[in-house]
Amino acid sequence: MDKLIIHGQKRLKGEITISGAKNAALGVLPAALLLKDTCTIENVPDILDIAILRKIMGSLGARFEDIDANTLKIDTRNVNSYRATTVDMHRLRGSYYLMGALLGRFKKAVVTFPGGCNLGTRPIDQHIKGFESLGAKVEIEHGFIKMSAHKLVGASIYLDVVSVGATINIMLAAVKAEGVTTIENAAREPHIVDIANFLNALGADIKGAGTDIIRIRGVKELKGNVTHSIIPDQIEAGTFMIAAAATKGDVLVKNVIPKHMESLTAKLMEMNVKVEEFDDSIRISSREKLTKINIKTLPYPGFPTDLQPPAAVLLLRADGTSTITEGIFDSRFQYIEELRRMGAKIRVEGRMAVIEGRSKLTGAPIKALDLRAGAACVIAGLIAEGETEITNVHYIDRGSEKMVEKFQQLGADINRVSDN
């Protein structure tokens, strides 16, 4: 198994280009299954999650042509199976978008219960409620979700909780349904807008993506030969912005949409970090003294839960005691035990982490427990004294394109080594 070796306390300096958004790509690729033609997707991140999704879609009959490292041509004309039941489904939470896509294409689907990072209870009841509202019969048995519909008919669907996954899945299933579907209390994340823009380019009729009410007027067919470029990854951008601030660095983060970063930039400025925004880039230069702050993670446009673990590491550098309240997942503080091994003074009280600033971190062997916790471990290693060894690197590979190389580019002493 590979591991990362980091020698810390080097200031990050230089510029970095952000990859396409993982969460957008994980929705756009399944959305292509609603098409019986070809399309080209640009700015696709070269990450493990996408490789797994391609393998699953390939088993359904989709064909992929790599135009270059980040550009894919997808041919869905020969997709002939509605059963996404390969073992790879367990490895990928985002595989649940195949439910909406296959239901929309075939009016039936059999999908293995999805996997992914362990972040506590992540129910799919809102997805199922949406499918049933559109006219599908849904059964869960022996680890499979089985869905079928004589026809899908538009409906008004109110989500009991703001769910990104349910919003996207219902949108996918409704694109070719008869009549109008309204999703109320919809999630507003940027990648929902990106997926809607892709579908609209294919001929779908979706209005209101990015607001809490989305209306989808069903169409009979979608048309291909469309090229779509995935939006930049706001979480990767945020990770490098936080790393720059944590290492007292000076980094220009390129290929970002500054509007998507507002909740983070506001908190960084509150901490006394210097933030300069340009059209499609943000420069972070950290001052010596950082101010303590309180953060609460919320659905977009609030502070992203996926940046909560990296933010916790940054708060270890602040003067005084800060808090982070987790408002999305009920189990997202497991990584704190790893930070404690390095000397972090953090205690967890229910959904709140209380973080004592000016904690001195020293290098230690630690484990990445999920994708975003892995990013936090890397940043902790970058600011710690001595050598940090991070195992479970496959979690980082799931969602970060060339993370090690990008940090090396900024002057970090980080290397990937193999035990073999």
The answer to whether 357 and 382 are in contact (CB under 8 A) is no
Phi, psi angles (nearest 5°) of residue 275? -125, 125
Copy the structure tokens of residue 69: 């490292």
Cα(147)–Cα(142) distance, integer angstroms: 14
With H, G, I as helix, E, B as strand and everything else as coil, classify residue 378: helix
The answer to whether 343 and 360 are in contact (CB under 8 A) is yes
Residue 117 is a catalytic residue: yes
The angle at the Cα of 345, spanning 343 to 351, to the nearest 5 degrees, equals: 130
Please state, in angstroms and as integers, the Cα–Cα distance from residue 391 to each residue in 137, 367, 394, 404, following that order: 43, 5, 8, 14
What are the start-end ranges of the E strands in 124-225?
Answer: 137-141, 144-148, 156-158, 180-184, 205-207, 213-217
- Please name which of 89, 74, 76, 80 lies closest in space to residue 108, comparing C-alpha atoms: 80
Phi, psi angles (nearest 5°) of residue 239? -60, -45
* Residues whose CB falls within 8 Å of the CB of residue 230, separated by 6 or more in sequence, listed in order: 20, 21, 24, 25, 28, 41, 42, 43, 44, 45, 194
The answer to whether 10 and 210 are in contact (CB under 8 A) is no
Q: Is the dihedral of CA 316, 317, 320, 323 positive or negative?
A: negative
Cα 312 from chain centre: 18
Given 117, 153, 201, 352, the catalytic residue = 117
Give the active site residues.
117
